[in-house]
Amino acid sequence: MGRYRYATLLAAGAVALDQATKAWVSASMEPWTGFPVIPGFFNLVHVLNRGAAWGFLNSEHIAWQRPLFIAIGLVALGLIGYMLKSADRSDRWLTTGLSLIAGGAVGNLVDRVRLGVVTDFLDFYRGDWHWPAFNVADIALSVGAGCIILSMLLNRKRDDARKPS
């Protein structure tokens, strides 16, 4: 399978899973509600986030955050496309990482364009400490970043091995 087809299928799969889970949460729970799945560790919640990662700029009083985050998402997709085109064709980790980041960006971008907010629903916690709620698109973004870091480490190791002593 060609890398563009692979990248498209992987990104589309991330978007589809993200949007399906968000639709299920939206149909199953009212906003700002939730229930424990693993008491003391994990809840399913229905949170509406106007901001970025970890609720950065999450305020209904900031009128410009929606167009800003839509623009950032579109610019990021352009950069990802450029990086994919420029990448070594044999670097599957980089292709996978860029694809997952594109899928995560599109998943959250769809929410921003359609609803003006991003639906988050995974709430991990310990005691009173809660990790900020997140969604499948955020998982794709994080795993994609991890794949890119792994690609960089493997390429560095390969490049170091090729250097003459």
Residue 55's pLDDT band (cuts 50, 70, 90): low
Give the whole-angstrom CA distance, residue 119 versus residue 112.
Answer: 9
Is 0.85 surpassed by the pTM of this model?
yes
Tell me whether residue 128 is one of the annotated catalytic residues.
no
Options 18, 111, 120, 123, the catalytic residue:
120
Tell me whether residue 120 is one of the annotated catalytic residues.
yes
97-147 pLDDT, tens digit each:
999 999 999 999 999 999 999 999 999 999 999 999 999 999 999 999 999
Please state the domain extents for the chain. Answer: 3-130+137-162
Strand arrangement of the beta sheet that strand 34-38 belongs to:
34-38, 42-49, 118-126, 129-130
Options 18, 111, 123, 138, the catalytic residue:
138
- Strand spans (E) along 8-109: 34-38, 42-49
9-43 pLDDT, tens digit each:
999 999 999 999 999 999 999 999 999 999 999 99
